[in-house]
């Protein structure tokens, strides 16, 4: 009986370890989370487009536990002078919130701010003449603000 009891305990211990191990693995974010975050926070239009597609299908990324929340352009207007800056600000928030959560914000802040500026300038490409100049000036002002205070 002594032998049978120790085998039973070993099997129970193994079952508990298996359940705990499975729960831990299921709760953990995928190993490529830092790579996905990096891919979506570069200065290029393709990075912006990849982020926008992922944002539109957040359920597919739920295992990664990204923070998709946003206050858009914070205390600045989301669409200053009618320029639609809100989605650029949302991507900027995404980068800030997720790099802060990862503990690597300071190493990435300058790139995140530059990505915002590039996104805003791409918005301005939709305009011509004085309107485009005004848009670019507003984009520059937003960039300088996040660079200094973000």
Question: What is the set of active-site residues?
Answer: 92
CB 61 within 8 A of CB 29: no
Task: Report residue 60 as tokens.
Answer: 């597919």
CB 42 within 8 A of CB 62: no
CB 38 within 8 A of CB 98: no
Of 88, 101, 86, the residue nearest 47 (C-alpha): 88
User: Which residues does 60 contact at the CB level (< 8 Å), separation at least 6?
Assistant: 54
Strands (E), 9-139: none
């Amino acid at each position: 009986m002594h032998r049978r009891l120790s085998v039973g305990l070993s099997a129970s211990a193994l079952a508990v370890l298996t359940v705990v191990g499975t729960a831990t693995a299921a709760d953990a974010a995928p190993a490529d989370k830092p790579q996905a975050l990096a891919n979506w926070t570069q200065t290029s239009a393709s990075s912006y487009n990849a982020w926008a597609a992922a944002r539109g299908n957040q359920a597919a990324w739920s295992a990664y536990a990204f923070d998709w929340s946003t206050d858009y352009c914070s205390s600045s207007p989301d669409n200053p002078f009618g320029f639609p800056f809100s989605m650029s600000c949302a991507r900027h928030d995404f980068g800030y919130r997720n790099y802060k959560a990862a503990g690597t914000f300071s190493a990435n802040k300058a790139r995140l701010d530059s990505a915002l500026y590039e996104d805003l300038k791409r918005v301005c490409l939709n305009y011509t003449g004085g309107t485009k100049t005004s848009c670019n000036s507003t984009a520059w002002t937003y960039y300088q603000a996040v660079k200094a205070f973000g």
